A and B are shown apart, each in its own frame.
Chain A
Amino acid sequence: MGMVTRKTIGMIKFGILSPEMIRKMSAVEVKVAETYDDDGFPIEGGLMDPHMGVADPGLRCKTCGQKMNRCPGHFGHIELVRPVIHSEYARYVEYFLNAFCPKCGKPLVSEQEFAEIIAENPPKSRLKALAKKGSSVKNCPHCGAERNAVRLDRPTNFFEGDKRVWPTEIRERLEKIHDTDLERLGFNPRDFRPEWLVVTVLPVPPVTVRPSIVLETGERAEDDLTHKLADIVRINQRLRENIDAGAPQLIVEDLWDLLQYHVTTYFNNETSGAPPARHRSGRILKTIIQRLKGKEGRFRYNLSGKRVNFAGRAVITPDPMLSIDEVGVPDRMANIITVPLHVTEWNLEEAKRYVASKEYPRALYVIRPDGTRLKVTDANREELLEELAPGYTVERQVVDGDIVLFNRQPSLHRMSMFALKVRVLPGKTLRIQPAICPPYNADFDGDEMNIHFLQTKEAQAEARELMVPTKHIISPRYGGPIIALTKDYITALFILTLPWTKFTKEEAMDLLYAAGITELPEPEEDGTISGRAIFSMLLPPDMNLKFPSTLGKHLVSVGLADKKGNGPISPITVIKDGKLVEGVIDKAAVGTGKGKLIDYMVRRYGEGVAKDFMNRVSRLANRLLYMFGFTISYHSLKIPEELDRKIDEIIEKALEKVYEYIKQYEEGRLEPIPGRGVEESLETYIMVTLGQAEKEIQSLLQKYLLETKLDPVHILDNFAQIFSGARGSFANIKNLMGVQGQAAVREKRPHRGFYQRVTSHFKRGDIGPFARGFARSNLRDGLTVNELFFWGMGGRMGEVDKGVSTQITGYYYRRLSNAMMDLLAFPDGTVREVTRDTIVQFAFGDDNLNPQKLRHGEVPLDVLYDEIKAGEKR
């Protein structure tokens, strides 16, 4: 190697190859359909002729004399005995035939009309316009010759009336077209002549484009293109023999059509009208267009998307002991992947340590200043150690603190790829702190993620400055925290901050030490330490904040508390001088999206404070949940008989109302809703009536639970999750303990299935609630078979919709991002198209505001006010 030629591409031209050009660039004419002889050597004049380059190591190319990897490959050609139409251009051949006189080659319109067509049409549509005019012309306006419209019978056959026009005839006609007329139509006759659309010479791509594969058995398997080319050569040969032998016209024409078919499928094996060519095994061949087209084609698969080195992929699992800006890397991954260490006089000692080491953090390779790369082995270690000097590069194993990119597909926004710090850990999975799940939209049910180990200092610096999670706690999508506490953390903080939660001194020390705090808060009068006091230790000492909690909203909505703050637990959370004094910490404080506390912390005290807070909570919450049992049992779902009766009453009343509607409908008395039919109105009445009953039951249960379960014992029956907004909802509770309710398919009651009924368990024409998917049972007591079936219908629809809508949305997103990818926000506030340097927007978003710095689109003035009040300067 070493003989690298660098050239700049000045121009790329797309066009049609002329037969002369094809012959000129050909290194050899292919005449034999065979590839290799019995000894395994390529046959001269065959499809693997060494003039077209070599695919076997050791052999030399007969054109350029170079070996396998150095020879760029050379085209060959096949001389077709009879010409065929280029199937991909058949449409244009039809246009040309209908636009020009077969006799004199002049346009089939008067000079004046021709001039008009050219004046009225852009170059792109002139030919089509001319062909449209010309196809109805019977006599050439120039020479008077009679002609008929030429019709294309797809894919490649042409007819004049009932008479077949063969490619030879077509070619003759096209040859007559004048260069001057072509120019006026917008063609450059030096680059394009219409008769080139009729193929007389077929280029044969180099061997390197269609290498044969040697199987383990020693057999050779040829590429699909080679197979197709062999077909062409074979039929071409047979056609020649038949013509030479003076075979009847019919036989010759059959073979000619067969040749046309092979050439057509050689270009495009998905040509409509031509049956796809198959391999002997029955597999459909992948020919030229199939190689290039679509998601798995050359462009999207190999050119827009390339595989990279220094990357890994593994299943992800959670690790609450990690920081949110760390990723746990399996040791076996860290053993293989390296990071370059450029040796200078300042890090020479460090580099030597890596080279000298025989175990884990060791150097795998040493690169000399001249670029030679040496594997570090026990044999040469001492030598290399001696040799090592500034200017060398040491490729050492990945260690803690290295910066990597960590990504989960689909990468829908910039938070889908963070720069994280490595923590090398035992095990086989990649690990992340669960708080960074929301931006990735990751969970741990088998998700896999990709990791990229950054190699250059520039890349590392850029990633560290721009891509660390701490700079993306607030999402620019909606201006609220997207890296926030979820699930167990919310539950734990909720339990911790309930007014009755108290700990002994030892327990408090245990919890705080887990969070990395070595001081104790002031104990209560009875010597215990309250959960709120422990939580307050995590807050900045001067913090003041007031907001309604999720629990508060639940309480207020069933009238157990008012908005002023009165209730069993204050519905408003108050933090005063860094102490939690009222209310609880739940989803409204630390959850994704709205989390007021985290939002305020990031904006007022900075990302670092918010990050430390979340890391501390993570460890503390973990510890806390070990201390409290937290589970649910069947008995927790039981409700007093009285309540059960009440629920029954609500359902009974609703059903009565529904039957009344049906009765009215059947008697034709039903008052339709304006703008809707009677049937439709009935459906709406029924759905609304049942829906209201379900809601009523839900509120009833919500009130009951908040009254009876908001105490130190029952809260641990998993209700803390619902009360705090960590997981589950009161709608779920309604399904469990109240009534499962109406099943829905496409927002309607299920109605398809048997004739006039959904299943055979009902009478024909029954449109009552139970025949149309109303489930009176609940999940605690179990559904009936029919109820389960109806809900299964809705569930199935949901799954199908999910799949379909992600597909459709994905394609929308692809188009949108492709359209917007080179728009860039400039320092002067304008948005410009970089490639063309044109202005698209004069002020970014019309207001020049960064959505990440806003809170749900509004300027966070409270933070500014607090800062000014505290006398801080920005």
Chain B
Amino acid sequence: MAAKKSILDHVLVPKCRVLTEQEVEELLKKYGIPKDALPKILADDPVVKELGAKKGDVIEFIRNSPISGKAIYYRVVV
């Protein structure tokens, strides 16, 4: 048996990471919004579990976009 693979390495899973508290603060300040105005992601989402993110954490996704090459999205764990 090979070592356990992470779903984060799958080609269809966009690159993602949990933002630090400071980064979150900067992000919210940049857009002038409360945290719950961000798009949401469920806490039981496999990617969230894999990242070990908790409720209230913000995850940054770098998606491949057919239009612009890549697009950055932020989603808050609920």
Question: Could you tell me which A residues sit within 8 Å of B by CB distance?
Answer: 828, 830, 832, 836-840, 842-843, 845-847
Distance of A839 Cα from B36 Cα, bound (Å): 10
B13 to chain A, nearest CB (A): 18
Q: Which of B3-11, B15-23, B68-76 interfaces with chain A?
A: B68-76
Contact between A842 and B74 (Cβ–Cβ < 8 Å)? yes
- Is B46 an interface residue when CB atoms closer than 8 A count as contact? no
Contact B31 A847 (CB under 8 A): no
Residue of B nearest to A838 (CB): B37
B37 to A846, Cβ gap below 8 A? no
Cα-based distance from A830 to B68 in the complex (angstroms): 15
Given A842-B72, A842-B74, CB of A847 within 8 Å of CB of B37: no
Does the CB pair A845–B39 fall under 8 Å?
Answer: no
A-B contact sample (11 more), CB < 8 A, given A840-B39, A846-B65, A847-B67: A830-B31, A836-B37, A838-B39, A839-B31, A842-B73, A842-B74, A843-B71, A845-B67, A846-B67, A846-B71, A847-B68
With A828-B31, A830-B31 in contact, is A842–B37 under 8 Å at CB? Answer: no
Name the interface residues of B51-67: CB closer than 8 Å to any CB of A: 65, 67
CB distance from B15 to the nearest CB of A (A): 15
Is B67 a contact of A837 with CB atoms below 8 Å? Answer: no
A830 to B31, CA, bound (A): 8
- The contact size tier of chain B is 10 to 19
9 shortest interchain CB distances as A-B pairs: A847-B68, A846-B71, A846-B68, A838-B37, A846-B65, A846-B67, A847-B67, A837-B37, A842-B73
A842–B33 touching, CB < 8 Å: no
Q: Chain A residues near B65: list those with CB within 8 A.
A: 846-847
CA distance A289 to B25 in the complex (A): 51
Assess the A839–B39 pair: CB atoms within 8 A. Answer: yes
Say yes or no for B43: interface residue by CB 8 A criterion.
no
Chain B neighbourhood of A843, CB < 8 A: 68, 71-72
Of residues A837, A842, A845, which shows the largest number of chain B Cβ atoms within 10 Å of its Cβ?
Answer: A842
The residue in chain B whose Cβ has the minimal distance to the Cβ of A836 is: B37
For B31, the chain A residues whose CB sits under 8 A away are 828, 830, 839
CB-defined contacts of B67 to chain A, threshold 8 Å: 845-847
A-B contact pairs, 26 of them (CB 8 A): A828-B31, A832-B37, A836-B37, A837-B37, A838-B33, A838-B37, A838-B39, A839-B31, A839-B33, A839-B37, A839-B38, A839-B39, A840-B39, A842-B71, A842-B73, A842-B74, A843-B68, A843-B71, A845-B67, A846-B65, A846-B67, A846-B68, A846-B71, A847-B67, A847-B68, A847-B71
**Which chain A residue lies CB-closest to B65?**
A846
The answer to whether B68 and A845 have CB atoms under 8 Å apart is yes
| Chain B residue with the shortest CB-CB distance to A840 | B39
Closest Cβ neighbor of B37 among chain A residues: A838
Specify which chain B residues have a CB less than 8 angstroms from the CB of A830 in the assembled complex.
Answer: 31
Give Cα distance in the complex from A847 to B70, angstroms: 9
Chain A residues whose C-beta falls within 8 Å of the C-beta of B68 in the assembled complex: 843, 845-847
CA distance A846 to B64 in the complex (A): 10
Look across to chain A and name the residue whose beta carbon is closest to the beta carbon of B34. Answer: A837
